[in-house]
Amino acid sequence: MPRGITIGATHYPTKEAVRDVCRSIVQRYGIGSDVTDSDDDAFLRHLLERHPEYDLKRGDGIAHFRVIAHTDHGRRSVGLALVRLDGEVADFSWNACLTPLSHRTQVLAALRHAIADQVAASRNTALNSGQPLVCSVTGAPIPSATELHIDHAAPTFLDLAEEFVAANGGVDALRILPDSGAGISYIELEDKGLEGRWQDHHQKRAVLRPVLKRVNLSDLRRANGTGTPAP
């Protein structure tokens, strides 16, 4: 059996090669455009069949695909969505089609999403303080808003998340809200009361600080994987 991954009748040597095809589709069509080429459409239909929630995403049937953009707490991303026969639009992650997320990864993603407003507020405070922006790790100036990220000083995000999860029955006790299958979806906790307690816990314990984008995306992530980017 050759290594790699097969989408439809085409074999790709790596998952990254499949991601490259997805990125090329996004770039060629642009935001808001429908995917019209028959080969691109066939590729995306075969790719979507691998999605862990394929039946939910597909609904009554797929009319075509579309390149979309959305903003979550100030963070803009571009991706793909399917347009159903009834006109409903549902986004999907091509990464989920290649490597379904573990439950622990989904829980951590839900916890990150739940405190995104706090991170955004910290970023806005730094930008509106009237003081020069300085990286808390290197001491170097942060030259522009695009170079500003917000990071957790000790305790790290992972420290806080694991502390909270352990105090609430462990990772298997935290349930993820089922995907509605429509619209733009985010990974969220099913128990909104629990989500609120996590937000309070994070608000009390987290120490957020401004850092250079390159520091957050390289040095800090290599060190502990706990950087929290904010655009």
Domain residues for the domain of 190 are 103-224
pLDDT higher than 80, residue 186: no
- If asked whether residues 93 and 111 sit together in one domain, one would say no
- If asked whether residues 45 and 158 sit together in one domain, one would say no
Residue 141, SS3 per DSSP: strand
In a domain? residue 87: yes
Query: Model confidence over 11-33: pLDDT tens digits?
Result: 999 999 999 999 999 999 999 99
Which pLDDT score is estimated for 13?
92
Torsion, Cα of 118, 122, 124, 126 (10° steps) = 180
Distance, CA of 14 to CA of 168 (rounded, Å) = 38
pLDDT higher than 50, residue 225: no
Contact 4, 11 (CB under 8 A): yes
* Residue 178: cis peptide before it, omega within 30 degrees of 0: no
pLDDT higher than 70, residue 150: yes
Which of 35, 63, 98 finishes a domain? 98
Give the chain's domain count: 2
C-beta atoms surrounding 159 within 10 Å? 15
Which pLDDT score is estimated for 214?
80
Which pLDDT score is estimated for 228?
40
The model's pTM: 0.68
Which pLDDT score is estimated for 5?
87
- If asked whether residues 55 and 92 sit together in one domain, one would say yes
